[in-house]
Amino acid sequence: MPRLDLSGFEELAAAFDKISNVPEDVQMKALTEMEEVAAAEIRKSGEAYGVRDPESPVHVLDSIKVNKPKKTDSGGYADVTFSGSRTRSGKQVRQAEIAFINEYGKKNQQARPFVGEAMNKNAEAIAKAGAEVILDWTENNF
């Protein structure tokens, strides 16, 4: 007859208890740290793809904005956005639109998926930044 042995359950349950007691300000700090890492990696990826427009003094990579984390019923979230706009061919264009076109391409412009690639390649580093904040809090409070 098959047998299932479960060891370490007490330690796992204790870890979940610690995590469930993390205060909101620590959670928000963890999200902010993750967001900062994500923004830096998006900038690096954009530079590698050559997203900067040499004809403009206002660049989409300079418009990357780290926003204040938001609290939700299920925890919270933080987002990195492209803020502002610039004039292209005589009309105002939002930086977010320029980033979108760079990310997905358009007719006669190949996609340069700098955001998606940055997030996928650096998911572990982004998560680690938040985990370090939470681990530091749990080590100092339990």
For 76-99, what is each residue's pLDDT tens digit? 899 999 999 988 888 999 999 999
Query: What's residue 75's pLDDT?
Result: 80
127 with 138: CB under 8 angstroms? no
What does the alpha-carbon distance between residue 130 and residue 121 come to, in Å, rounded to a whole number?
A: 17
Please tell me whether the overall predicted TM-score, pTM, comes out greater than 0.95 for this model: no
What does the alpha-carbon distance between residue 44 and residue 136 come to, in Å, rounded to a whole number?
A: 28
pLDDT-based confidence at residue 35 (cuts at 50, 70, 90): very high
Please give the full DSSP string across 105-122, using - where no structure is assigned: -BTTB----HHHHHHHHT
pLDDT tens digit string along 7-17? 666 776 666 67
What does the alpha-carbon distance between residue 7 and residue 48 come to, in Å, rounded to a whole number?
A: 47
pLDDT tens digit string along 110-120? 999 999 999 99
Average confidence score pLDDT of the chain = 88
